[in-house]
Structure 1
Amino acid sequence: MLGALFFVYKVFRSDSMDTSVKIASLFGLIAVISFCLLGVLYRTDVVGNYSNDRLLQIESRYNFCKGFVLGKYLAEKYPDRKAMIIVPPDYELNFRQKELVDSIVKGFGDSITLEAIEEIAVDLSRYQKGKSPHIEEIMTAEDFDYAFNKHRDCEVVVSIIGVPKDIEKMRVWGMKDYERPKIALLNSSTKYLESAIKGKYVVASVHYIPGFKAKTTILPSSPEKVFENRYILVTPENVEQIKRQYDKLFFKM
């Protein structure tokens, strides 16, 4: 590119060169600069496939870290327990969902034993052929009650699909404290769970930081630092503090 600049400089300094040649040289220089700039942007992940790959890597890192941090918190808070993870049907076919489950288990470490991965079975027969409703729209309290009853020995339950719309009908809320499993939630609408968290019916819920801005820069190596860039972990111990810090996080009754 420096050679092109020097050439154009010599052309414009020459009195013998026709004006049309000078203009053509200028356009040629612009083309060279544009080509070089595009190459730099491409190689530095700003445009092109490199950029797409970078974004996918970043989102994958966030996805892993939110599961890992939640799993680690539960392991430190409730060690020596058995756990169940509630997932959607065929979750293993979805890379993000499988990655999330794996990250939770990694966060558990040796402190919590994964006893079951329970796929919520939903009835799709009432939906028109070709339509694919989100599981969050059709799963029910009955589906969750079935999972809880099936694995009563699991003292920690993590749902990566949140809770059903008819959450108030779940029988687990009627259990005594010593019978009720420790319920933690990912991908749930925390804003409706203030009372459940305060009452320790839900012991942890991961939520986006209100107003967070997505970052495309290289992320920290620490999962906790990555988590703090995008998420907050709401627990019975910090729910009041978080409510003061983010006054719009919870739904005002």
Structure 2
Amino acid sequence: MQYVYIAAMVLALIGMIVCSKKQKTNPAVQPVAFVLFVIVLISAGLLLNELNVFGGRSSLLANELKFYASQGTKTGDFLKTAMPGKKLLLVADPGFEKNDNVKLLADALREGYGGEVVVDTVELPGNQADAPMPLYMMMKAKDFDAMVEKHPDVGVIVTTVGLPQDANNLKFMKQPADKRPALFLMGLPSGPVPGIMPAIQSGAIVGLIISSPEAKYDVPAPSDPMEAFDIRYVLVTKDNAEQYKGNFTN
């Protein structure tokens, strides 16, 4: 559409020039010149809006996506040191194949980690597209285990959908630590989650991302994703879990 707006502006400007030359001998062209002037203004406004010069919804969305994707960069950078050289499984909501948010997050995770990242979801019985509730409220431990079993070669599971409510029944978590994939939680469902604190302190969960108590939401995202992360989020590990325990425990 940018070219259409530019073409309209150029043609209208040419028309105005022609009218300005003729209006001395033909005053009737003055209204035409005014209409062409209006066309120039409208076309210029539409072009500037298309280019996001005035900001707007699309630029706000792009800004939020930068913050969101920064979680992938931070997680990848952390796991590159904590769990180097392993294949990562990113667990996302159903329909992730067409979700630009997930694509950006996965790309950021790959870039931060510098290794292989695959994306999958937890499949539930029935039609997930018509599901009335979020995935974390419906999935069971057996569903999560089934997804994990599809990827026997992954070394780290990074989940954006939380854990099933009966997470204490997860089979893969009952395996010896050196035999099962590590678990990283990228965000939690709203509300306290019992059992998270001891799981982090024991290393059963290697990391957890939560919203920062000092998060800012009315600022532009820095070009550096690590700086963007620090504005919105906190990475919780066993080293600082005690400091943030009030954010995810009863």
* Aligned equivalent of 1:241: 243
Q: Secondary structure at the match of 1:152?
A: coil
- Write the letter of the residue equivalent to 1:205: L
Q: Where in structure 2 are the equivalents of 1:151-162 lying within 5 Å?
A: 151-162=151-162
Q: CA deviation at 1:130?
A: 5.4
Distance change (3 Å), C-alpha of 1:83 and 1:90: same
Distance change (3 Å), C-alpha of 1:124 and 1:222: same
After superposition, the C-alpha distances for 1:74-132 in whole angstroms (9 at most, x for unaligned) are: 112211112222222220212212222222122111xx333x3222111235x9x9554
The answer to whether residue 229 in structure 2 is matched with residue 227 in structure 1 is yes
The separation in 2 between residues aligned to 1:55 and 1:65, in whole angstroms, is 16
Contact 2:123/2:147 (<8 A) preserved: no
Q: CA deviation at 1:153?
A: 2.1
* Aligned equivalent of 1:29: none
The answer to whether residue 210 in structure 2 is matched with residue 212 in structure 1 is no
Aligned-residue identity in percent? 26
Aligned length: 197
**Tell me, which stretches of 5 or more residues in structure 1 are unaligned?**
1-42
* Aligned equivalent of 1:195: 198
After superposition, the C-alpha distances for 1:196-227 in whole angstroms (9 at most, x for unaligned) are: 11111110111101363412x33222211110
TM-score, length basis structure 2: 0.70
Distance change (3 Å), C-alpha of 1:164 and 1:198: same
The separation in 1 between residues aligned to 2:152 and 2:247, in whole angstroms, is 32
Correspondence for 1:66 among 71, 91, 110: 71
Q: Where in structure 2 are the equivalents of 1:1-253 lying within 5 Å?
A: 50-109=55-114, 112-114=115-117, 116-124=118-126, 132-189=132-189, 191-192=192-193, 193-210=196-213, 212-215=215-218, 217-243=219-245, 248-252=246-250
Q: Secondary structure at the match of 1:85?
A: strand
Contact 2:122/2:147 (<8 A) preserved: yes
Q: Secondary structure at the match of 2:56?
A: helix
**Tell me, which stretches of 5 or more residues in structure 2 are unaligned?**
1-47
RMSD value over aligned CA atoms?
2.5
- Write the letter of the residue equivalent to 2:119: I
The separation in 1 between residues aligned to 2:62 and 2:84, in whole angstroms, is 31
